[in-house]
Each structure stands twice: as C-alpha cells, then as structure tokens.
Structure 1
Amino acid sequence: MANHDPISDLLTRIRNASEKKHENTKVPASRMARSIVRVLQQEGFIAEISEEGEGVQSLLVLQLKYSGKHRQPTIRRVQRVSKPGLRIYKNTRQLPKVLGGLGVAIISTSKGVMSDRDARKQGVGGEVLCYVY
C-alpha cells in the first residue's frame, strides 16, 4: 500500500537519515515540504536547504545538523500528530509545548506554517502537523 501522506513521508525520510547519521537527505519538494523544512531550519534542526531538479521532479536537499564529538543528531524524535484520517486542530490557548519548550510543534495556520512559539506570538491556532525534538 502506497503512502499517500507526503508530510509523513517527509518526516520519515528526515528521521531515517538522522538516525543513520547521513550528511544530507533528499525529499520531494512541495509547498508544504518547503514550509516545514524552513521552520526546522529556523528552529536550528537543519543546517541548510537547497533545491535540485525542475518542476514535479524537484527535490529539497536538507543538510542535517549533528552536535558533539559523537555526532548526536539534533533531531532525536520526529512525530506526526495530525494525520489525513484524523486531523488535530488546536486554538492558541491549546497549542502544545513540546518537552517543556525544548522541542517544537509545527503548526499549519491561516498565516502559513510556523512553530508553536510563533503561532502563540501571533495569536493563531491551526493544524498540529508534527513534533520535533
């Protein structure tokens, strides 16, 4: 059975690559994928994002970050929250704090995709896409 959830696919590729300590990973480019990886970059989980290919075939190349001499992945856990079969929406007051603020929840709001911190700042809620820590 094919995976028809591009966000889950994106998160799984990032999770697998960081567990295997790859320098970078390639994910299919889409507007949603670009938004999610941009938030991950702002939050310091991804070093650099570049794009290769054209049109439908274009891929985002993500440079993963590692810390310390044992190269611990900055991304330890990626968890999909809202799924196509069960969407999870939260208003501003209900937005989750991941690991007491150490992690980040990525929220799809009416003002675009942003971290839970930014969504709180802007006073918007939305669909909770995933947790990253």
Structure 2
Amino acid sequence: MTAGRDLDLLDRLSQTSRALGVITAELRVCQVYDTPLNSETLRETGNTLRSLGEALLARAAELDGTPPAYPGRCALCGAEPVSHPHAEAWMVENRFCADCIDHCLTDTHHDHWCPIDTFARAHETHPQNKARIDV
C-alpha cells in the first residue's frame, strides 16, 4: 500500500516537472514579447508546487520520523509555537501551529496533502501510534 502511494507521489513529481518546463517556456515567451503574465497560470502553478512540496515533505517526515526543528515549535513551519502545547502528544494541536492547521483545513485543492494530514491520518488508522509519538 505504501509503495503504491510512493509511486503516486513520484508520478505527481514527474508530471509536475514536465508541465513546469512547458509553463516556464510559455511565460518566457510572454516576457520576450512584453505580454503580461497570466496571473491565473502563476497562481495555479504556485498552488501545484506548494501542494507537491508539502506532500514530499510529509512523506520525508513520515519516513524518518522528523521531530520539530525546535521543540515547542510547529513541525511544519518551524517558526510559530504549537497551538496547544499542553495537548496530548498524539493530537495535531500539539504538533502544529494554528496558522498551519488553518491553512491545511482551508486548502480546497483536490490534491492537497500535507504533514498535518499525514500526522492525523497515522493516528486515525493506527491508534497504537498515539503512545509512540515523541513530541
């Protein structure tokens, strides 16, 4: 099951790489001919790259069990304090800041998957992980 998910992630990376070359060429042509850049294309590309980047980071963290860089700081952005530092270790609120949790919950892209989703999913499907999480 995990190998299939990894292959899907690698397929997304490959497709995004190919598409990025085409998009970059089109945007460069716009610059050469003084045509304004298409804001929708830039926005869509940025969102796709963000989503893919978050998915790659989530999988990396899943593979190596990466703890937050700074204890008491968000495991995703590393800058903000966690939302509820006194929550139980297995709770999302004890691992991520309010801004990152909010971004995760409000992201409506169909391919959104970030470290918060991965962390939450691990505890939904494997409740025994609750006792093994180091925060």
**Structure in which a larger fraction of residues adopt strand:** 1
TM-score range, shorter chain: 0.3 to 0.5
| TM-score normalised by structure 2 residue count | 0.32
Larger of the two Rg values belongs to structure: 2
